[in-house]
Homo-oligomer: A and B are copies of this chain.
Amino acid sequence: MIIKEIIKRRSVRDFRSDNVNDNMILEIIKAAQFAPTGMNNRAIEFIIVKDKAIKEALHNIAGQSFLSAAPVLIVPIINGDKSITPVQDISIASTQMMLQITSLGLGTVWKHLQDSWVVKIKQLLNIPANFILINILPVGFPDTALPEHSDTEFNKNAIHYDKF
């Protein structure tokens, strides 16, 4: 039995305009904070963006309309002085958030950030120079129903035994 949120999670890019309540956002952050971090650094912080003008600015920088259309954006960041595995740490925490978002009936998509956008976003959000960011998770109620994952996606050819 695969975990139901793993089966249900799809990349959601179309959101309804309905607000997401603050307790849901805190549950999502909690799911991130229960994730393991390299050497237990616990150096991840979160910027919760709901301001319309800031969301518009992020949309302009990273060029995707769901950044302004989603009611909430979560921007995970990590102190690079405390983590020697910042990309792993943010990715693990973000995955737990994606599944928790799914569990709450909400949707998200991993928006990857190019390096040139990161420079502009750090300035826009006042993020200190020593913090690292790699992605944004827009959060909202999905506006489209997407199919669940199924065994048709299972690829046994990707499995090797003992050696490649």
Contact = CB atoms under 8 A, between A and B. Distances in A.
Interface residues of A, number: 63
A48 B11 contact: no
B27 A6 contact: no
A11 to B, nearest CB: 6
B158 A33 contact: yes
Contact of A162 (B34, B49, B95): B49
A164 B47 contact: yes
Contacts of A88: 87, 91, 110, 112, 134-135
A99 B48 contact: no
A75 to B, nearest CB: 9
A47 B162 contact: yes
A30 interface: yes
A6 B163 CA distance: 31
A6 B159 contact: no
A7 B36 contact: no
* Majority secondary structure of chain A interface residues (helix, strand, loop or mixed): mixed
Given A47-B160, A164-B127, A91 B95 contact: yes
A115 B85 CA distance: 12
27 contacts: A2-B30, A2-B34, A3-B5, A3-B96, A3-B99, A3-B100, A7-B34, A9-B36, A29-B158, A30-B154, A34-B153, A35-B95, A36-B98, A36-B109, A44-B158, A45-B159, A45-B160, A46-B158, A46-B159, A47-B161, A48-B159, A48-B161, A54-B162, A87-B88, A88-B91, A88-B110, A92-B95
